[in-house]
A and B are shown apart, each in its own frame.
Chain A
Amino acid sequence: MIKKIFSGVLLVIFIAACSSSDDNVTPETPGETSFDRAGMLRNIADNIVIPAYQGLTTSLSTLATAKDTFVATPNQANLDALRSAWLTAYKSWQHVEAFNIGKAEEILYSFQMNIYPVSTTDVENNIATGTYDLTHPNNNDAVGFPALDYMLYGLGATDTDILEKYTTNAESSKYKTYLTDLVSQMQMLTQEVLSDWTTTYRDTFIASTANTATSATNKFINDFIFYYEKGLRATKIGIPAGNFSATPLPEKVEAFYNQEVSKELALEALTAVQNLFNGTQYNGSASGESFKTYLTFLDRTELATLINTQFNTARGKIQDLNANFFTQINTDNTKMTQAYDALQAAVVLLKVDMLQAFNVSVDYVDADGD
């Protein structure tokens, strides 16, 4: 008798499991439908990624104009204008650095834009020989914003010394050429990435919502976390603070030669990360579907709030630092490591809690499960 009841129960479950798929094509309650991932990707592409690349393109062309003026007339006023355009563009860059997907990934865009510390030997060699392939991997640490940082702030001890390189120096034309080539290269690469987004990749990106290791959704989420952990937490703060070495390495800060904007750049990067998490549009305040609304959909509002709180805590810790991390590390490195710890706490929330909630397939683990 017991057997019959058990098998009866199982039969019912079995039939229910098999047949209900047909009955429930329209979900009973709207709250239980699937999250609109395409909507999230659309918001990210249209309101964040593409506008951010457009913003960078604009500030790079301002930079190019300032550079032209400076090359034509290398004086203090034009150098100051060029430096200011460089900083604006460098800040714009912080808003696209995380997007290592599509064309950017294919052409190793970020490797050609912001690998630091810059190798001054490579830069000087390139200038001296006058023959170089800026796209070559060996030149990754001799191009982009860090190379400009050196060209605008590091060529001499004083501004007079720097201006000398572009004026009376025997090699001045070579310096000007290299400066020009660097800026053109950055413009060209950025244009290539942006055009790809606006012509074809946007639609590919939005359509790729599957939960597979290679889908845009999963790659983008993984890339975002990877950037936050490596590009922001480690490279901008942790490595110079000596978190991964026996002694601090202050010369590894971002914009080392400028000496006063490493904090500003790090804060900009953190803002970009937080805006992306919240789906806040580039240069605006409106927001749409995002990782945050995805978490809310999954009933994990408390986690979304925790992540934002932790971002804010980290921002507070970074704001406490000297404008120049180099100075901060050399005077009171504890504060620097505290900022690192605050950033690290958010890594746990993103990498463990958020990834678990999304249950995305990760691209790096290929093995059977139980």
Chain B
Amino acid sequence: MNRFQTYVQQQTNATPLAVFRIGFGLLMCYSIIRFWLKGWIETVYLEPTFHFSYYGFEWIQPLGNYTYLLFFICGLSAFCVALGLKYRLSIILFFLSFTYIELLEKTTYLNHYYFISILSFLLIFLPANATFSVDNLWRKRSYTQIPKWTIDSIKLLLGIVYFYAGLAKINSDWLLNAMPLKIWLPSKYDLPIIGETLMQQNWFHYAMSWSGMLYDLLIPFLLLYKRTRWFAFALVVFFHVFTRVLFPIGMFPYVMIVSSLIFFEADFHKKIIAFLRRMLQAVIKVKTNAIQVFPEYHVRFKSIVIPIVIAFFTIQLLLPFRYLLHPGELFWTEEGYRFSWRVMLMEKMGNTTFKIADGETGNFFYVKNSDFLTPLQEKQMSFQPDFILEYAHYLGDHFTNQGHKNVQVFVESYVALNGRLSQLYIDKTVDLYQQKESFQHKNWILPMRD
């Protein structure tokens, strides 16, 4: 306990966290603008007549045209985070608006959106505006040092993301069959130079699988140790740029590259701050002499903040292992798949059609999915049991309201995973309208035959 007390007392230079705040805020602001400009607010949040919700968050409701306002608040608060303007309020607003957006529609779940949600939650408790922030100007105070644990917590979170992603790659499909890279890489045949050559080579698929696994497992440690740090950072840049070239992964590579700068020492960040200061001074004259510089920042409400952070990390460390509580093949059932840093592990597709039957007469008809779902929703629904169940209930309610009697909802679903032949996914004889969502195992998922 003593060692813990001493650790919590330790102070370190505040600049790395300030640089992190600026990078994070700007990238998030840009992400929101990018999302808006691509027209995805319409296609993802406004066009669908029905949204897939997360279990327990069904009360998160679409906001119609106010969705634009929500995105505006999200982008603006991200920009204020970058400025360090009303930092605490801004990061809380960002966390809430961003998370609300993500919870609105399960179809667009991405690990990196989840990462941004939990990272912004963590940032609420960190003094990222201690130095080089607008808050310093109007409060007339800044801090040279902040508690060391605040920076370490971000390193820990990044470490968890990478390491758990690496652990998830230790499976037979990834290592022994080079799947799904063996499917994905050859289809990149139109890349210059490497497309028709390297991407087609069997050994290259294995090399990429194995080095990807090693990269994820080792990179947190290589970044932690000073002697390997620059090499590790070069790897980070190479790895993320390379995956960006290969796959449509949006902002994630840049977020990770910028985030990993936090591992560098204060001197490095001081240079960045000094550079930014010079750039700023060239544009606007800011009077900083009124600011009183305090040597150390002390976290307020420490007795609440520290337990929250510890609880946060305990959950982060345990949550990815919850799949162990479910029987069956994780990739097949996807029970406990999300929120666990399982990235790019599966090439999974399905074809899922719903049959609406009258329980008394046995008469039935099939549903045209495109009448209710957007193409993206249909694609995601087709191979994920919780989507299938939620949609089955939506259809059941819809046709009951239309006046159909004794509505039963059956599904014919075929799914193919990582190059295996498609096989029947859901028990055809189970009326899904009578099944309830829960954290229990869904016994109507048929086992995978390998």
Residues of chain A whose beta carbon lies under 8 Å from any beta carbon of chain B: 3, 6-7, 9-11, 13-14, 16-18, 20-21, 24-28, 32-35, 37, 209-212, 238, 242-246, 298, 302-303, 306, 344, 347-349, 351-353, 355-360, 362, 364-370
Contact B349 A365 (CB under 8 A): no
Out of A17, A210, A302, A370, name the residue touching B249 (CB < 8 Å): A370
- Contact of A244 with B414 at beta-carbon distance under 8 Å, contacts A10-B218, A348-B351, A370-B110 already known: no
Which of B11-19, B207-215, B270-278, B441-449 contacts its partner? B207-215
B200 at interface (Cβ–Cβ under 8 A)?
yes
Contact B421 A211 (CB under 8 A): no
In the complex, which residues of chain B have a beta carbon less than 8 angstroms from the beta carbon of A359?
A: 183-184, 186-187, 347
Report A369 CB to chain B, min CB distance, Å.
5
Report A163 CB to chain B, min CB distance, Å.
41
- Contact of A370 with B349 at beta-carbon distance under 8 Å, contacts A10-B235, A13-B211, A34-B195 already known: no
Cβ contacts B212-229/A at 8 Å (1 or 0 each): 001100100110010110
Residues of chain B whose beta carbon lies under 8 Å from any beta carbon of chain A: 38, 40, 43-44, 108, 110-112, 183-184, 186-190, 193-202, 204, 207-208, 211, 214-215, 218, 221-222, 225, 227-228, 231-232, 234-235, 238, 242, 247-252, 343-344, 347, 349-351, 353, 363, 365-368, 375-376, 379, 404, 412, 414-416, 419, 421-422
In the complex, which residues of chain A have a beta carbon less than 8 angstroms from the beta carbon of B367?
A: 244
Give Cα A285–Cα B110 distance, bound, in whole angstroms.
48
Contact A14 B375 (CB under 8 A): no
- Contact of A14 with B235 at beta-carbon distance under 8 Å, contacts A211-B188, A370-B344 already known: yes
In the complex, which residues of chain B have a beta carbon less than 8 angstroms from the beta carbon of A298?
A: 186
Can you give 7 A-B contacts (C-beta < 8 A)?
A3-B221, A13-B214, A14-B238, A353-B416, A358-B187, A359-B187, A362-B379
Contact A356 B183 (CB under 8 A): yes
Give Cα A37–Cα B250 distance, bound, in whole angstroms.
28
Contact B215 A10 (CB under 8 A): yes
- Contact of A244 with B368 at beta-carbon distance under 8 Å, contacts A11-B231, A211-B188, A357-B183 already known: yes
Report A176 CB to chain B, min CB distance, Å.
40
- Contact of A7 with B375 at beta-carbon distance under 8 Å, contacts A24-B197, A32-B202, A370-B344 already known: no
Contact A244 B365 (CB under 8 A): yes
- Contact of A3 with B193 at beta-carbon distance under 8 Å, contacts A348-B414, A370-B112, A370-B344 already known: no
Report B151 CB to chain A, min CB distance, Å.
22
In the complex, which residues of chain A have a beta carbon less than 8 angstroms from the beta carbon of B207?
A: 13, 16-17
Closest to A350 in B: B351
Give Cα A215–Cα B231 distance, bound, in whole angstroms.
39
Contact A370 B111 (CB under 8 A): yes
In the complex, which residues of chain A have a beta carbon less than 8 angstroms from the beta carbon of B196?
A: 33-34
Contact B349 A355 (CB under 8 A): yes
Closest to A302 in B: B421
In the complex, which residues of chain A have a beta carbon less than 8 angstroms from the beta carbon of B200?
A: 27, 32-34
Closest to A16 in B: B207
Contact B350 A352 (CB under 8 A): yes
In the complex, which residues of chain A have a beta carbon less than 8 angstroms from the beta carbon of B251?
A: 368
Out of A13, A21, A210, A365, name the residue touching B197 (CB < 8 Å): A21
In the complex, which residues of chain A have a beta carbon less than 8 angstroms from the beta carbon of B365?
A: 242-246
Q: A24-B197, A369-B250, A370-B343 are in contact. List 17 more A-B contacts (CB 8 A).
A: A7-B222, A7-B231, A14-B235, A14-B238, A17-B208, A27-B201, A32-B201, A238-B366, A244-B366, A347-B351, A351-B351, A356-B416, A362-B375, A367-B44, A369-B247, A370-B110, A370-B112
